[in-house]
């Protein structure tokens, strides 16, 4: 008998594991991915989804099985078995979650690093930053702080001012002010954000990026769009009555189209 | 005059009013106060639920067309505040704690009966104040988090009343916490050791430590915020040199432990209910105790995971990710132990058992999304979206509120001496479980796909899913009806419960239903094995019968 129950347990775990992987690969719940950040995010999401599905289906199945199998049949009296605990079992299910959590933690650290999240740390202690009158925080995905300086050609600097209830984008190159964000595909954008009034948040679901836009605390958010198209910018921090209406668009163009747009809108110097 | 009791003291006779009027009086009886908390909390639950209904009606269409935008923000602020501070916290702590803890430690009342009554009577006026603020210039509209600068710039009257009300409720909570710690540690019946206490005592001890350590921080923060509003100081006002992030740190230093203040007592209650209705000992008593204390310690050092998209430095994000994810370990132990408690039992599928099992299933999902949200890279996409809304409703509704219903089914016979109708109870469970999952499961998808929380209007592509969610909310509202019918019907015409309808071993069942003012006639029973169910127990009871 113990042999049979071991085989059943093993088979159920296998089915559960395969089921979890199948669900994570076949149930697609995320919007299109449109930034360099997004595929990395989706990878993490998938791993979390696999682990989550296995745990959830397994626990639910255990509870339902117990309720059905061990239910009190009509006319049955007396109590269940005398089982007050089992040290090795308890050690087992302390260790399993600990290992899973440790794995998830290390894995998400790796993802975080690949998204560029750890980079500002390396520059935290340089005198370069301390000498600045304002301390600039890096959002996740922000590259080294230096790339945000306008004279660095590798990234396109754009300034975002958020206010109740609009996003205003300013392009230092060409001195353009726009209510929509125009960016070229495949180029790193360095968005310097600050709020005029209350806290807002800049969120592009297709980029898998969100960063609060905070009054009195400028923040840098770096990202690289990888897909042309029109994606929503959503304010994700309660900012007043029209919070739900505080939306805009990011328009990702081919480089040539972007250059044309830039040229057309550049203020002519008289 | 101060009043405090020693073990085996009886509360002074003249202080106990009699008849149903005692429930409206400044009674010092812990059982009366417990029921006052429960009924008062339930009334606020109905109000908070109606507000949730209004939100779900507004969200059936993508436009803001059901109520003015300002009113919508007031409604969501009141909904959150009422459900947390006037329903879940007072009921899982105040109601069941006051009713059960003196029984469990073998005392005749709480350590400080008068402080106990004061703690309860702070609640109705603060609740009424909060609700009436809607009629005076409008209620607070900056969410239950009241982040500055929004809370400083919205109309001041509503915000100040909100702060006063939350301060009073926090005071009530601290009084209760001190009382529970004193009662559990100092009022134990001689001969009863700490490791022999029912699990709910440990849960309440852990919770009360959190309450006493973290609530004062919220109080201080809100007082500073009120200075910013009325005296135009600049603690959190960036235009006067203040810092808005500091507020968030201080706020979440209380408000994350607040989640454990809502769920730890629920964990304790489930640990009482499962063994009785599956006729088995609680699995792994010692690991359960240690995991509660583990959750308490970790719960104090995870607050900044609410701020991953605020301006937080990378090291902080990493630390809080790891600390938060590790809460899954002690929590996981508890869930495995509960399932092991069911295993091999003789389970009665009644209202109490079904709601407890519904809690396990819901909370596991909420816990899994919680571990996911703890991961910074995952969180930056879904933070402040409907994914988070779904997550925390799985924790506080699917978790705590399911346990509250389970506990009402379990202890109603003790409260009233009458049995509830179990068929209606099962019906209530099925409707609630389906309604709840229909309402909140689709919201995970909404959040992942781009719907932020706290909005009155949204992208039209989300309309269908929002309507499905609203149908779920309607089912949840309707599920209250069989429950209320069951309660009133049973109080009036219910079967007599007898002293111990569940054949339970914990001390509250070893007295009459409802119990006398002094809890037991004669000495308090010494229960050293609160979970001594199982074959051994049934053989003993058989022998006694013969």
Radius of gyration, alpha carbons of chain B = 23
The pLDDT value given to residue B275: 95
How does the average pLDDT of chain B come out, rounded? 93
Identify all chain A residues contacting B144, using CB atoms and an 8 Å cutoff.
Answer: none
Q: Is A144 on the interface with B (CB under 8 A)?
A: no
Instruction: Find out whether B84 and B148 touch, Cβ atoms under 8 Å.
Output: no
Residues B369-424: pLDDT tens digits? 999 999 988 999 999 999 999 999 999 999 999 999 999 999 999 999 999 999 99
Asked if residue A167 and residue A100 are part of one domain, the reply reads no
Residues B475-526: pLDDT tens digits? 999 999 999 999 999 999 999 999 999 999 999 999 998 999 889 988 889 9
Q: Is residue A126 part of a domain?
A: no
Residues A48-67: pLDDT tens digits? 999 999 999 999 999 999 99
Q: Token match 């054949």: residue?
A: B503
The pLDDT value given to residue B13: 57
Nearest CA-CA distance, residue A241 and chain B, Å: 5
What are the distances in angstroms from CA A153 to CA A111, A190, B403? Answer: 27, 11, 59
Quick one: residue B519, left, alpha or beta (phi over 0 = left, psi -120 to 50 = alpha)? left
For residues B394 and B481, what is the distance between their CA atoms, to the nearest angstrom?
22
Asked if residue A182 and residue A107 are part of one domain, the reply reads no
Residue A108's closest chain B neighbor by CA? Answer: B375
Nearest CA-CA distance, residue A111 and chain B, Å: 7
Does the pLDDT at position B155 exceed 80?
yes
How many structural domains is chain A composed of? 2
Q: Is A239 on the interface with B (CB under 8 A)?
A: yes
Residues A208-222: pLDDT tens digits? 989 999 998 888 888
Does the pLDDT at position B10 exceed 80?
no
- Of A41, A80, A117, which is closest to B346 when you measure between CB atoms? A80
- Of B278, B376, B457, which is closest to A108 when you measure between CB atoms? B376
Residue in B401, B343, B392 with CA at minimum distance from that of residue B369 = B392
Q: Is A40 on the interface with B (CB under 8 A)?
A: yes
Instruction: Find out whether B448 and B382 touch, Cβ atoms under 8 Å.
Output: yes
Asked if residue A161 and residue A64 are part of one domain, the reply reads no
Residue A92's closest chain B neighbor by CA? Answer: B333
Does the pLDDT at position A134 exceed 70?
no
Residue B284's closest chain A neighbor by CA? Answer: A85
Nearest CA-CA distance, residue B407 and chain A, Å: 18
For residues A54 and A18, what is the distance between their CA atoms, to the nearest angstrom?
9
Q: Is residue A270 part of a domain?
A: no
For residues B427 and B472, what is the distance between their CA atoms, to the nearest angstrom?
16
**Full set of structural domains in chain B with CATH:** 25-545 (1.20.210.10)
Q: Is residue A129 part of a domain?
A: no
Q: Is B246 on the interface with A (CB under 8 A)?
A: no
* Residue contact A97–B329, C-beta within 8 A: yes
Give B25 or B443, the one with higher predicted confidence: B443
Asked if residue A141 and residue A104 are part of one domain, the reply reads no
Beta strands in chain A (DSSP E): 137-138, 155-163, 166-171, 176-178, 181-184, 188-195, 200-204, 209-213, 219-223, 229-235, 247-253
* Residue contact A244–B368, C-beta within 8 A: no
Q: What is the arithmetic mean of pLDDT over A236-256?
A: 94
Interface of A with B in 171-210 (CB under 8 A): 197-199, 201, 203, 205, 208-210
Residues B199-250: pLDDT tens digits? 999 999 999 999 999 999 999 999 999 999 999 999 999 989 899 999 999 9
Does the pLDDT at position B38 exceed 90?
yes
* Residue contact A98–B150, C-beta within 8 A: no
Asked if residue A94 and residue A22 are part of one domain, the reply reads yes
For residues B399 and B268, what is the distance between their CA atoms, to the nearest angstrom?
12
The ipTM (two decimal places) reads: 0.91
Does the pLDDT at position A152 exceed 70?
no
Q: Is residue A125 part of a domain?
A: no
Asked if residue A13 and residue A100 are part of one domain, the reply reads yes
Does the pLDDT at position A142 exceed 50?
no
* Residue contact A112–B317, C-beta within 8 A: yes
* Residue contact B349–A67, C-beta within 8 A: yes
How many A×B Cβ pairs under 8 Å?
A: 299
Asked if residue A208 and residue A94 are part of one domain, the reply reads no
Identify all chain A residues contacting B531, using CB atoms and an 8 Å cutoff.
Answer: 84
Contacts of residue A133, Cβ cutoff 8 Å, sequence gap at least 6: none
* Residue contact B534–A79, C-beta within 8 A: yes
Residue A105's closest chain B neighbor by CA? Answer: B322
Instruction: Find out whether A223 and A207 touch, Cβ atoms under 8 Å.
Output: yes
The pLDDT value given to residue B22: 83
- Of A70, A108, A203, which is closest to B452 when you measure between CB atoms? A203
Alpha-carbon torsion (B363, B369, B372, B373), positive or negative: negative
* Residue contact B311–A98, C-beta within 8 A: no
- Main-chain dihedrals φ then ψ at residue A171, nearest 5 degrees: -100, 110
- Of B332, B346, B381, which is closest to A97 when you measure between CB atoms? B332
The pLDDT value given to residue B3: 65
Range(s) of the domain holding residue A147: 135-265
Asked if residue A255 and residue A140 are part of one domain, the reply reads yes
Asked if residue A147 and residue A259 are part of one domain, the reply reads yes
Q: Read off the pLDDT band of A137 (50, 70, 90).
A: low
- Of B281, B378, B381, which is closest to A108 when you measure between CB atoms? B378
Identify all chain B residues contacting A29, using CB atoms and an 8 Å cutoff.
Answer: 444-445, 448-449
Identify all chain B residues contacting A77, using CB atoms and an 8 Å cutoff.
Answer: 538
Q: Is residue A74 part of a domain?
A: no
Does the pLDDT at position A135 exceed 60?
no
Residues B96-117: pLDDT tens digits? 999 999 999 999 999 999 999 9
Highest mean pLDDT among A92-96, A100-104, A185-189, B181-185: B181-185
- Of B310, B380, B385, which is closest to A214 when you measure between CB atoms? B310
Does the pLDDT at position B35 exceed 90?
yes
Identify all chain B residues contacting A31, using CB atoms and an 8 Å cutoff.
Answer: 448-450
Residue B377's closest chain A neighbor by CA? Answer: A112
* Residue contact A217–B315, C-beta within 8 A: no
Other CB atoms within 10 Å distance of the CB of residue A181: 22
The pLDDT value given to residue A151: 43
Asked if residue A147 and residue A42 are part of one domain, the reply reads no
Asked if residue A153 and residue A107 are part of one domain, the reply reads no
For residues A83 and B323, what is the distance between their CA atoms, to the nearest angstrom?
33
Nearest CA-CA distance, residue B245 and chain A, Å: 9
Q: Is residue A40 part of a domain?
A: yes
The pLDDT value given to residue B177: 97
Q: Is residue A142 part of a domain?
A: yes
* Residue contact B368–A56, C-beta within 8 A: yes
Q: Is residue A37 part of a domain?
A: yes
Asked if residue A171 and residue A94 are part of one domain, the reply reads no
């Amino acid at each position: 008998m113990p042999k049979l129950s071991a085989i059943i347990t093993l088979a159920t775990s296998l089915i559960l594991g395969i089921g979890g992987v199948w669900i994570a690969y076949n149930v697609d719940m995320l919007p299109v991915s449109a930034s360099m950040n997004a595929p990395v995010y989706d990878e993490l999401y998938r791993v979390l989804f696999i682990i989550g599905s296995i745990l959830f289906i397994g626990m639910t199945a255990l509870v339902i099985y117990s309720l059905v199998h061990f239910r009190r049949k009509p006319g049955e009296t007396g109590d269940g078995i005398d089982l007050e605990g089992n040290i090795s079992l308890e050690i087992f299910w302390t260790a399993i979650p600990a290992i899973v959590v440790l794995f998830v933690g290390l894995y998400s650290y790796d993802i975080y690093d690949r998204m560029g999240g750890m980079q500002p740390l390396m520059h935290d202690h340089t005198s370069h930053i301390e000498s600045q009158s304002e301390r600039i925080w890096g959002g996740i995905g922000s590259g080294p702080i230096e790339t945000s300086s306008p004279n660095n050609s590798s990234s396109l600097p754009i300034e975002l001012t958020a206010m109740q209830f609009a996003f205003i984008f300013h392009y230092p190159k060409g001195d353009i002010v726009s209510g929509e964000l125009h960016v070229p595909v495949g180029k790193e954008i360095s968005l310097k954000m600050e709020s005029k009034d209350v806290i807002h948040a800049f969120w592009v679901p297709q980029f898998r990026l969100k960063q609060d836009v905070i009054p009195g605390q400028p923040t840098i958010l770096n990202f690289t769009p990888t897909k042309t198209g029109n994606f929503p910018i959503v304010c994700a921090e309660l900012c007043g009555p029209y919070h739900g209406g505080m939306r805009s668009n990011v328009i990702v163009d081919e480089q040539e189209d972007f250059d044309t747009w830039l040229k057309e809108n550049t203020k002519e110097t008289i | 005059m101060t009043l405090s009791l020693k073990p085996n003291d009886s509360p002074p006779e003249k202080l106990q009013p009699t008849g149903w009027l005692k429930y409206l009086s400044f009674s010092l009886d812990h059982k009366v106060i417990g029921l006052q908390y429960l009924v008062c909390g339930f009334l606020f639950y109905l109000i908070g639920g109606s507000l949730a209904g209004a939100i779900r009606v507004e969200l059936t269409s993508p436009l803001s067309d059901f109520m003015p935008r300002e009113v919508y923000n007031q409604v969501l602020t009141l909904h959150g505040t009422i459900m947390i501070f006037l329903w879940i916290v007072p009921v899982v702590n105040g109601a069941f704690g006051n009713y059960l803890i003196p029984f469990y430690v073998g005392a005749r009342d709480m350590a400080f009966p008068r402080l106990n009554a004061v703690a309860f009577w702070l609640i109705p006026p603060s609740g009424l104040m909060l609700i009436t603020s809607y009629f005076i210039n409008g209620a607070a509209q900056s969410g239950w988090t009241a982040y500055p600068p929004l809370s400083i710039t919205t109309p001041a009257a509503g915000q100040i009343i909100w702060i006063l009300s939350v301060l009073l409720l926090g005071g009530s909570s601290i009084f209760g916490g001190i009382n529970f710690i004193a009662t559990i540690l100092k009022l134990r019946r001689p001969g009863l050791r700490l490791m022999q206490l029912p699990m709910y005592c440990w849960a309440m001890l852990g919770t009360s430590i959190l309450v006493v350590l973290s609530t004062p921080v919220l109080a201080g923060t809100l007082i500073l915020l009120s200075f910013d509003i009325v005296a135009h100081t600049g603690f959190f006002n960036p235009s006067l040199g203040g810092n808005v992030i500091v507020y968030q740190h201080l706020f979440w230093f209380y408000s994350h432990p607040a989640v454990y203040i809502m769920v730890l007592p629920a964990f304790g209650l489930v640990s009482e209910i499962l063994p009785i209705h599956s006729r088995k000992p609680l699995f792994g008593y010692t690991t359960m105790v240690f995991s509660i204390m583990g959750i308490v310690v970790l719960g104090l050092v995870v607050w900044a995971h609410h701020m991953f998209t605020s301006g937080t430095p990378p090291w902080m994000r990493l630390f809080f990710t790891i600390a938060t994810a590790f809460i899954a370990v002690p929590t996981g132990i508890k869930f495995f132990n509960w399932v092991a408690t069911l295993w091999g039992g003789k389970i009665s599928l009644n209202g109490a058992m079904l709601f407890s099992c519904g809690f396990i299933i819901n909370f596991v999902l909420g816990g899994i999304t919680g571990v996911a949200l703890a991961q910074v890279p995952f969180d930056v996409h879904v933070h402040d979206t409907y994914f988070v809304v779904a997550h925390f409703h799985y924790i506080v509704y699917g978790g705590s509120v399911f346990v509250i219903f389970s506990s009402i089914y379990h202890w109603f016979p003790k409260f009233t001496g009458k049995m509830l109708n179990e068929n209606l109870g099962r019906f209530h469970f099925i409707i609630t479980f389906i309604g709840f999952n229909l309402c909140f499961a689709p919201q995970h998808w909404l959040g992942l796909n781009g719907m932020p929380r706290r909005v009155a209007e949204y992208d039209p592509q989300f309309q269908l899913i929002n309507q499905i969610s609203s149908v779920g909310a309607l089912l949840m509202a309707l599920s209250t009806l069989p429950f209320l019918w069951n309660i009133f019907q049973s109080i009036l015409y219910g079967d007599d419960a007898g002293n111990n309808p569940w054949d339970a071993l914990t001390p509250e069942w070893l007295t009459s239903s409802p119990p006398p003012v002094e809890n037991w006639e004669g000495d308090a029973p010494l229960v050293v094995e609160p979970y001594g169910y199982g074959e051994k127990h049934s053989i003993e009871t058989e022998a006694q019968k013969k």
